Amino acid sequence: MSVGKPVILILTIHNGGGHINLAQSLQEMLETNYEVVIEDAQSGAANRWYAWVSRHSVRFLQWQYIVTDNKILSFAFHLILTLLSYRRIQGIVERVQPQLIITTQAFLSYATARVNNRQRKRVPLVFQFTDLGQLHMTYLTEKRADAYLAPTREIFAQALKQGIAKERLHLTGRPIRRQFSEALLPEESQTLAALSFDPVLFTLFLQGGAEGSADADRLIEGLLEAKVPVQIILAAGNNKKIAERYKNHEQVRVLPFTQRVAPYMAAADVIVGKAGASFISEAFTLERPFIVTTFIPGQETPNLRFIEQHNLGWICLKAQDQQELLAKIAYSPKMLTEKVESIRAYKTWNRQANQEICAVIDRLLA
């Protein structure tokens, strides 16, 4: 009689692409030895609310981040979230019957721990930290998970300082989806040719986030008005308005939402857009410099420092500065090559650190 693979449940939320990408990255790493199930632990209404707020009220997200970034209010916030999500998480756990649970979002951590502790048979619980430069306190409210996976040295140091036991804390690097580590750079010219783009002209990949929350059109209009010699691959996400605006422009190719985005990013000379941790990590995996043109204040602010500290790109938040920087790069490609050495060094460290992820999971399930 054959014995099936142990089941790992990854709980995430679908408010933006970053948490989903992280869950998929873990799934790809673990699926050889385990059956991995990804579930959305948040209701569709909550996901739609976040998408609306990220487009129309970024200041609210900033206010929420700042107000709850302390021990007392982060705990109170978790109590409210637990009331709202407990039954949904409990239902998922009872249906999937996992031998191990991983969460990839801070808002799920406390509620998932409560559900797990009340099961007839508690299973190992793992928290995958998502951010690069600094964690919000909601990630650190629950301190009794079996393992915490820290994607960077900065996050490892912060978690240790905030009371996460060293034996539970592991420096594992940022998991990246397989399509980025396996992207074949010689296919760049083929990708550009398929887009009817010039394979030798300066190309940028511009993303506004999976929900189209970044102000991408402002940058595009500035580059077109300044007549910068550039061609733009625009990842419009689910933003139909911006996709319609540029669908017939000769210097812009609109890329609708796609799971297979790595070849298009690899075909560009530089990656441009919102400072999401997942987007930044995918860029350095492809050895492409990253230019931050916008960010969500609060939650993504530490990512700006992270990029500067590791020399992974540029922070360029004003429209005029963005035009000037991209114009300089277009006429002086050496500016990009000067960044590549540090990008490759960080990529190598991250890839080596990733090997610890499977080792941690294997030990917990031994």
What global pTM score does this model have? 0.88
| % of residues, the chain, pLDDT over 70 | 90
- The three state secondary structure string of the chain is CCCCCCEEEEEECCCCHHHHHHHHHHHHHHCCCCEEEEEECCCHHHHHHHHHHHHHCHHHHHHHHHHHCCHHHHHHHHHHHHHHHHHHHHHHHHHHCCCEEEECCHHHHHHHHHHHHCCCCCCCEEEECCCCCCCCHHHHCCCCCCEEEECCHHHHHHHHHCCCCHHHEEECCCCCCHHHHCCCHHHHHHHHHHCCCCCCCCEEEEECCCCCCCCHHHHHHHHHHCCCCCEEEEEEECCHHHHHHHCCCCCEEEEECCCCCHHHHHCCCEEEEECCHHHHHHHHHCCCCEEEEECCCCCCHHHHHHHHHCCCEEECCCHHHHHHHHHHHHHCCHHHHHHHHHHHHHHHHHHHHHHHHHHHHHHHHC
Q: What mean pLDDT is predicted for residues 239-246? A: 80
Residue 343 has pLDDT above 80, yes or no: yes
Kindly indicate the confidence band of residue 210, based on its pLDDT and cuts at 50, 70 and 90: very low
Residue 209 has pLDDT above 50, yes or no: no
Residue 136 has pLDDT above 50, yes or no: yes
On the CB side of 284, how many CA atoms lie within 13 Å of its CA? 30
* Region 7-175+351-365: CATH code: 3.40.50.2000
Sign of CA dihedral 19, 24, 30, 33: positive
Burial of 202 (0-12, 13-18, 19+ CB in 10 A): buried
Place of tokens 């799934």: 27
Residue 28 has pLDDT above 90, yes or no: yes
Q: What mean pLDDT is predicted for residues 305-321? A: 93
Q: Do the beta carbons of residue 322 and residue 222 sit within 8 Å?
A: yes
Tokens of 80: 């409210």
- pLDDT at residue 58 in the model: 67
24 Cβ contact partners less than 8 Å away, ≥ 6 residues apart: 38, 177
pLDDT digits (tens, 9 = 90+) for 143-175: 999 999 999 999 999 999 999 999 999 999 999
Residue 308 has pLDDT above 70, yes or no: yes
Q: Between residues 18 and 276, which one has the greater pLDDT?
A: 276
- 121-135, 229-243, 253-267, range with greatest mean pLDDT: 121-135
Judged by average pLDDT, the poorest of 11-20, 86-95, 202-211 is 202-211
- pLDDT at residue 212 in the model: 46
- pLDDT at residue 18 in the model: 75
- pLDDT at residue 185 in the model: 55
For residue 20, how far is the Cα from the chain centroid?
A: 8
For residue 53, how far is the Cα from the chain centroid?
A: 18
At 51, which amino acid appears?
Answer: A
Q: Do the beta carbons of residue 78 and residue 106 sit within 8 Å?
A: no
Q: What mean pLDDT is predicted for residues 122-149? A: 94
| % of residues, the chain, pLDDT over 90 | 56
Q: What mean pLDDT is predicted for residues 245-266? A: 87
Kindly indicate the confidence band of residue 228, based on its pLDDT and cuts at 50, 70 and 90: confident
CATH 3.40.50.2000 in the chain, residues? 7-175+351-365, 179-332
At 69, which amino acid appears?
Answer: D
Taken as a whole, the chain contains a residue count of 366
- pLDDT at residue 186 in the model: 55
Judged by average pLDDT, the poorest of 69-78, 115-124, 203-212, 265-274 is 203-212
Q: What mean pLDDT is predicted for residues 57-75? A: 80
**179-332, CATH topology level:** Rossmann fold (3.40.50)
- pLDDT at residue 57 in the model: 62
Q: CA 250, CA 71: separation in Å to the nearest integer?
A: 52
- pLDDT at residue 13 in the model: 86
Q: Between residues 44 and 224, which one has the greater pLDDT?
A: 224
Kindly indicate the confidence band of residue 14, based on its pLDDT and cuts at 50, 70 and 90: confident
Q: Between residues 330 and 102, which one has the greater pLDDT?
A: 102
Judged by average pLDDT, the poorest of 6-15, 233-242, 259-268, 304-313 is 233-242
Residue 41 has pLDDT above 80, yes or no: yes
- pLDDT at residue 2 in the model: 42
pLDDT digits (tens, 9 = 90+) for 350-365: 999 999 999 999 999 9
